[in-house]
Amino acid sequence: MTDLHLNGRKALVTGGAQGLGEGMARALAAAGARVAVADVQDDLGPKVAESLGAGHGFVHLDVTDDAGWEAAVGQAVDLLGGLDLVVNNAGIEITSLFVDLDPAAVSKQLQVNLLGTALGIKHAFRAMRPGGAAGNGGVVINVASVAATIAFPGIGVYSATKSGVDRLTRVAAMESGKLGYGVRVNCIYPGLVPTAMGAGLANDVARLGLFPSPEEAVGAVIGLTPSGRLGEVTDMADAVVFLASDAARFINGVGLPVDGGMGM
C-alpha cells in the first residue's frame, strides 16, 4: 500500500488565500509538500503561507493574466526549488437567472474559471515537461464542481464553466501523454461547502426566489445528497492530496466526484 505522503513535492495552489484553496494548501503541507500559495489577495495570501511554516511562500497571481502566470510559476520554482504539482482552484460564481444575465458577469466567470484554468495547465506543462524549469513531470489537479454534473437553478454560467474545466482536464491529460510530458491531469467535483462562496450561493438563490430561504436552499442540497450533509473543506483537500500522491499514479484524465453522491 502506497502511503499518501508528499514528501519532497513542490506545489502551487491558486486561490490559496481562503476557502477551499487555503484548505488544500494546508493539507498538502501537512502531507509533506512545500507549497506556494498563489492569489490576488496580497493581504491574506502571505499570512496563510507564513502560517504553513518554513519552506512555504506566497506568489501574487491573477489567473487570467498569461504574463502573470509565467512570472508566478518562475517565482514558485525559485522559492520551492522545483515544481511538480499545480492545483487550479481559483474560481468565482455569480448567481443569476438566465432572464437577467449580465454579459460582464458572464465574461468574468469565463475568464477566471475557464481561461484561468487553461493558463494554469499551459504554464504547469511548460515548467514540468522535459526541458522545462522544473522538468521532472508532475500532476495538475483542476477544481471543477458538482455543478458540472447537475442542473441547479441560478448557476447556469458557472455550471457551464465547470463543465468546461472537465473537458480541459481530459484533453490536457491526452496531450501530456501523447507528447511525453509526464504530467497527470485530473479534476475534482466538489459538492456544496459552507465557505464564503457556498454561503453566498444559498443567499443568492433565496434572494432570486428560487427557494423560500437560504436555509431551505441548503436543505434542498442536503436532500439531494445520499451522504446527508454538506461537504467540508477537508473532504476536498484530502481528495487533492490523494490525486497528488503516488497512490493515484495510474489515475489520469478523470473527474473525481467529492460530493457525497449528489451528482451521481
pLDDT on residue 196: 86
CA dist 153 and 132 (Å) reads: 43
Which DSSP symbol is given to 146?
Answer: G
Active-site residue set: 158
pTM for this model (two decimals): 0.96
| Neighbouring-strand partners of residue 60 | 39
pLDDT on residue 264: 84
Going residue by residue through the chain, which has 264 residues, state the pLDDT in tens, using 9 for 90 and above. 567 899 999 999 999 999 999 999 999 999 999 999 999 999 999 999 999 999 999 999 999 999 999 999 999 999 999 999 999 999 999 999 999 999 999 999 999 999 999 999 999 999 999 999 999 999 999 999 999 999 999 999 999 999 999 999 999 999 999 999 999 999 999 999 988 888 899 999 999 999 999 999 999 999 999 999 999 999 999 999 999 999 999 999 999 999 999 998
pLDDT on residue 2: 62
Residue ranges of alpha helices (H) inside the chain are 19-30, 44-52, 66-80, 103-109, 116-128, 156-179, 196-207, 214-223, 233-244
The residues, ordered by sequence, that sit 6+ positions from 63 with a Cβ below 8 Å of its Cβ are 14, 15, 38, 69, 88, 90, 112, 115, 116, 117, 119, 120
pLDDT on residue 4: 81
CA dist 220 and 218 (Å) reads: 5
Angle at 186 between CA 181 and CA 191, to 5 degrees: 165
The number of C-alpha atoms within 13 Å of 251 and in the hemisphere containing its C-beta is 18
